[in-house]
């Protein structure tokens, strides 16, 4: 049993509440969670009472055929096991899980940064699926937390990474961390990127918005890859197969992550998020991605900061040309714990 300290609000949570992502009605949301082990069963070995931990919310059985070939994110027995989607999540005081879905947070990685481990696992899986190499030039559509993490991870390989974003707040935040950021407000992203890039076109495009597939397909260079990451059940694109075959475009959907990706995300977060890392300057990207924190009872303010819970123009989805919702935040965290708090502003000694 993990006493939850905090949970990052995911774009998926908002899409669930708007009816744009399938979930079981009545389920407690919340899946990007960190906390402290409060109780263990007699056979638990890898964690102990008092350990700081992160939850891997993508439960799997381990013995069905997708699981046996390592594709645990497509487990056949997934129904009712996705924490915060169809099994009660962590906008709550505590959660009880099997041992293998609870991992220790490395010493030195603050809770505040550790809430980004789960999104980082998604990003690792998708960047890996795109086989990004040194020769690649990458455009990431959307500079929310997932977009920025994608730019960060892809940028460890690719020759050039550009973020494309229409929201003023997110543009400003993205420019604090990335050299190439393109404002696509009121413009066709394809034209806006072309203006910044000249002749060259991206060999890989990640769409983290859920409504950018059409733009991504027009933007990507011949022979390139398009990775679909954002979720919006209401968005669709008519796709003529010839559009892929003639130009040699690979369209990639990689989903969340396999079981073996999660510990990699834990270790990479430790690398990226340790406050004393040389060159980390005024704070690591992980730390600065968390812009707002609210106690559990003020959850509605958390969603207000992320575009609110009424359908905005950008959520109607079908044409992809509407104005996107306005954001006043990057990663918003809902805190389940009331303290006492340490230097990093997060509970200690719980
Ligand atoms: Zn999420
Ligand atoms: Zn399985």
Helix-helix angle 145-154:117-129, to 10 degrees: 50
Expressed in angstroms and rounded, the spacing between residue 220 Cα and the centre of ligand 1 is 26
Expressed in angstroms and rounded, the spacing between residue 52 Cα and the centre of ligand 1 is 20
Tokens of 139: 């455009």
Cis peptide before 340, with omega less than 30 degrees from 0? yes
Expressed in angstroms and rounded, the spacing between residue 191 Cα and the centre of ligand 2 is 44
Q: Which residues of the chain have pLDDT under 50?
A: 280, 313, 316-322, 350
Ion ligand 2, residue ranges at CB < 5 A: 60-61, 64, 67, 75
Ligand nearest to the CA of 11: 1
Q: Which fold has domain 131-253?
A: Rossmann fold (3.40.50)
Domain ranges of the chain: 2-120+257-335, 131-253
pTM over 0.85: yes
Expressed in angstroms and rounded, the spacing between residue 124 Cα and the centre of ligand 2 is 21
So what's the pLDDT on residue 312?
59
So what's the pLDDT on residue 313?
47
DSSP 202-268: -SEEEE-SSS-HHHHHHHSPTT-EEEE----TT------HHHHHTTTPEEEE--S--TTHHHHHHHH
So what's the pLDDT on residue 338?
72
Ligand nearest to the CA of 76: 2
Query: Quick one: which of 58, 63, 90 has its CA closest to 73?
Result: 58
Degrees, nearest 5: CA angle 32-23-122: 35
Ligand nearest to the CA of 55: 1
Query: Phi and psi for 348 in degrees, rounded to 5?
Result: -125, 160
- With tokens 């812009």, the residue in question is 291
Expressed in angstroms and rounded, the spacing between residue 122 Cα and the centre of ligand 1 is 8
Expressed in angstroms and rounded, the spacing between residue 200 Cα and the centre of ligand 1 is 33
Degrees, nearest 5: CA angle 290-212-160: 70
Expressed in angstroms and rounded, the spacing between residue 258 Cα and the centre of ligand 2 is 11
Q: Tell me how far apart the alpha carbons of residues 99 and 78 are, in angstroms, rounded to a whole number.
A: 17
Q: Which fold has domain 2-120+257-335?
A: Quinone Oxidoreductase; Chain A, domain 1 (3.90.180)
So what's the pLDDT on residue 325?
67
């Amino acid at each position: 049993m993990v006493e939850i300290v905090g949970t990052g609000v995911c774009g998926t949570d908002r899409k669930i509440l708007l009816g744009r992502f399938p979930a079981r009605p009545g389920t407690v949301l919340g899946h990007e969670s960190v906390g402290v082990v409060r109780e263990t069963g007699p056979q638990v070995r890898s964690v102990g009472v008092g350990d700081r931990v992160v939850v891997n919310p993508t439960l799997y059985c381990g013995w069905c055929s997708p699981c046996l070939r390592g594709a645990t994110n497509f487990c056949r027995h997934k129904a009712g096991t996705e924490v915060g989607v169809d099994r009660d999540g962590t906008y709550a005081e505590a959660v009880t899980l099997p041992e293998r879905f609870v991992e220790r947070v490395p010493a030195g990685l603050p809770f505040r940064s550790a809430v980004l481990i789960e999104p980082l696992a998604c990003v690792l899986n998708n960047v890996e699926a795109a086989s990004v190499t040194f020769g690649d030039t990458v455009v990431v559509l959307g500079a929310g937390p997932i977009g920025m993490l994608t730019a960060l991870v892809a940028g460890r390989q690719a020759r050039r990474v550009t973020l494309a974003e229409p929201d003023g707040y997110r543009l400003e935040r993205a420019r604090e961390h990335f050299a190439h950021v393109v404002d696509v407000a009121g413009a066709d992203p394809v034209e806006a990127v072309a203006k910044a890039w000249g002749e060259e076109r991206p060999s890989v495009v990640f769409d983290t918005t859920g409504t950018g597939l059409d733009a991504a397909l027009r933007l990507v260079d011949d022979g390139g890859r398009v990775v679909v990451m954002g979720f919006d059940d209401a968005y669709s694109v008519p796709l003529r197969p010839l559009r892929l075959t003639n130009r040699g475009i690979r369209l990639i959907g990689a989903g969340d992550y396999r079981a073996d990706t999660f510990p990699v995300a834990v270790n990479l977060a430790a690398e990226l998020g340790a406050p004393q890392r040389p060159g980390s300057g005024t704070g690591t990207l992980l730390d600065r991605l968390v812009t707002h924190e609210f106690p559990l009872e003020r959850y509605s303010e958390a969603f207000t900061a992320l575009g609110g819970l009424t359908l905005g123009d950008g959520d109607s989805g079908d044409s992809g040309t509407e104005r996107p919702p306005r954001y006043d935040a990057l990663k918003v965290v809902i805190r389940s714990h009331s303290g006492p708090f340490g230097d990093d502003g997060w509970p200690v000694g719980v």
